[in-house]
Structure 1
Amino acid sequence: MNVNIQTVNFNADQKLIELVSRKMEKLNTFHDRIIESDVFLKLDNVVHNIKDKIVEIKVHVPRHSFFVKSTSKSFEESFEAAFDSLVNQVKRRKEKMIA
């Protein structure tokens, strides 16, 4: 699976990139036909002092794609919430394919 990580309005540190890559590789345990995934890490409200961290994940499988978005005060928290939601979507889709 090809994982593309893009940062918008900032430069991510290597630790965050490695965390995202490592977790995204675990998606293969839930669906074996994942073609590629795109992870977007964004800063919102850049003009204000409080910056929300947005994580968007798009996963492509044959004839379908999944999309999740999560916002919180840290990228790790946003990514965990988005990843959990994505895993639920992938599991539900796979159950429908089997049934």
Structure 2
Amino acid sequence: MQISISGHHVDVTPAIRDYCNQKLEKLSRHHDRITSTNVILSVDKLIQKAEATVHVTGQDFFANSESENLYAAIDSLTDKLDRQLLKYKEKRSAHR
């Protein structure tokens, strides 16, 4: 799985990059066909934002989250993506 992390009005430090990689690697436990993940981290005054697009074979998933803390926004983002991937996986297995 390829993970690209970029920042908009924020410097992406190695600590933030490692934290994002660690959280997004957990998504591959639920779905093994994830090909790429694009994450955009941004700051708008006091609100930290995180957006991500996950490309699975044949499907794209998008999630965004906002928080006062960037790490909390990343946590919320991965939780949202995790729920979307689990729901997609259940739908695919139920239809077969």
User: Does the alignment reach a TM-score above 0.5?
Assistant: yes
The percent identity for this pair of structures is 30
TM-score, length of structure 2 as denominator length:
0.94
Distance across 1 between alignment mates of 2:15 and 2:6: 14
State the 1:12 CA deviation.
2.1
The count of corresponding residues between Structure 1 and Structure 2 is 94
| 2:39 aligned residue | 39
Root-mean-square deviation over aligned CA pairs: 0.8
CA-to-partner distance for each residue in 1:70-96, whole Å, 9 max, x for gaps? 001011010111110110000000000
Q: 1:33-72 alignment to 2 at 5 Å?
A: 33-45=33-45, 51-72=46-67
Which consecutive residues of structure 1, in runs of 5 or more, have no partner in the other structure? 46-50
TM-score, length of structure 1 as denominator length:
0.91
| 1:98 aligned residue | 93
State the 1:27 CA deviation.
1.0
SS of 1:35 mapped into structure 2: strand
Residue 20 (structure 2) pairs with residue 20 (structure 1): yes
